[in-house]
Amino acid sequence: MAQTNYRLCVILILHFQNTMKKGSPAQVVTIVADFDRTLTKYIHKGHVCATCHYVLEEGSLPELYKEKARTLRDTYFPIETNPKLSVEEKIPKMIEWWTKSHGLLETCEISRDSIQHCVSSSTAKLRDGCSWFFDELKKYEVPVLIFSAGIGDIIEEVIKQQSTMHDNMHIVSNYMKFNEKGQMTGFQNAIIHVYNKNENAIHDSAYFQNIEHKTSMILMGDSLGDLHMADGAEVDHKLKIGFLNTRVEESLELYKKKYDIVLVEDETLDVPNNLLRSILER
């Protein structure tokens, strides 16, 4: 089910189509997309699918780790998705969640070589139509930024196994650090969690400077934190597509206020793909 501010969307799509007259898609359009539950499914065949972090929990890690990680998720996921809490209230809790879960992962002696199998045996699943989405954007050389509070190493592997990682795609996420024996020892940079995607430290990266001169942007996310993934990039037109996967009744009005299109319990990329067709293939 799609919930849309039709007038605004039509205006935005017309703007997008007009900008195409000013240059090639590669010059004028950019995509910024979240990963977990935006490019991947929330539900597949009635079962909740794994996020990047959960991929590791489904793998062969010690039972004690799995139990602790599950307790953390049961505590913090309801806070992440609670529409009644403000972002300010959520931020300290999200920092707690990511700090504790990354601390736990560091105790598990994860090997770089195990990631491939963890992903192939996991329930993480790209949305239906995701390969077409990636291929189409590559065809027109549109830059794609995947900006995720998940784990970069897992994202790369999911895309590699289920689709294609093209050279127009760039990932900003939490990347693991490995020692010379290939064992995970921690994470490379400061934590990216769902509600700090607006932080300057992240946006100062060369990649963000690269997208700032585009005129049109499609932003895709499933969390209200994702709305800030491109803060600071001064594009003329930004079309925001939100996936509302859970707590639909309590969150719908808020999502409709914040996103231009809200896709409710939709496990496909059909709407963004149709949009791309109307913009790129005219």
Residues marked active site are found at: 34, 36
State which of positions 243-282 bind ligand C5P (CB under 6 A): none
Token duo for residue 63: 């039972």
State which of positions 146-165 bind Mg ion (CB under 5 A): none
Q: How far is the CB of 60 from ligand C5P (least distance, A)?
A: 18
- From the number of C-beta atoms within 10 Å of its C-beta (0-12, 13-18, 19+), residue 63 rates as exposed
Q: Is 68 in the site for ligand C5P (CB under 6 A)?
A: no
Contacting Mg ion (CB under 5 A), which of 12, 16, 36, 168?
36
Nearer to ligand C5P, 48 or 264 (CB): 48
DSSP secondary structure string, 144-206? Answer: EEEEEEEEHHHHHHHHHHHS---TTEEEEEE-EEE-TTSBEEEESSS---TT-TT-HHHHTSH
CA distance 188 to 32: 22
Nearest to 16 by CA among 264, 236, 262: 236
State which of positions 189-248 bind ligand C5P (CB under 6 A): 194, 223
Contacting ligand C5P (CB under 6 A), which of 19, 31, 33, 80?
80
Residue keyed to tokens 């299109």: 261
User: Using the 8-state DSSP alphabet, how is residue 111 labeled?
Assistant: B
CA distance 176 to 226: 22
- Residue range at the interface with Mg ion (CB under 5 A); choices 32-40, 94-102, 114-122, 269-277: 32-40
Nearest to 221 by CA among 85, 81, 57, 104: 81
Nearest to 68 by CA among 95, 107, 120, 25: 107
CA distance 89 to 100: 18
Residue 40 pairs in a beta bridge with: 126
Q: How far is the CB of 176 from ligand C5P (least distance, A)?
A: 13
Q: Which does 61 bind (CB under 5 to 8 A by kind): ligand C5P, Mg ion, none?
A: none
Q: Which does 73 bind (CB under 5 to 8 A by kind): ligand C5P, Mg ion, none?
A: ligand C5P
Contacting ligand C5P (CB under 6 A), which of 19, 114, 122, 148?
148
Nearer to ligand C5P, 20 or 155 (CB): 155
Question: Is the distance from CB of 174 to CB of 191 less than 8 angstroms?
Answer: yes
State which of positions 203-222 bind Mg ion (CB under 5 A): 222
What would the x/- binding string for ligand C5P be over residues 98 to 137, using CB under 6 A? x--x------------------------------------
Q: How far is the CB of 80 from Mg ion (least distance, A)?
A: 9
Nearer to ligand C5P, 12 or 124 (CB): 124
Q: Which residues of this chain interact with ligand C5P, rule CB under 6 A?
A: 34-37, 51, 53-54, 73, 77, 80, 97-98, 101, 148-150, 194, 223
Residues within the interface to Mg ion (CB under 5 A): 34, 36-38, 222
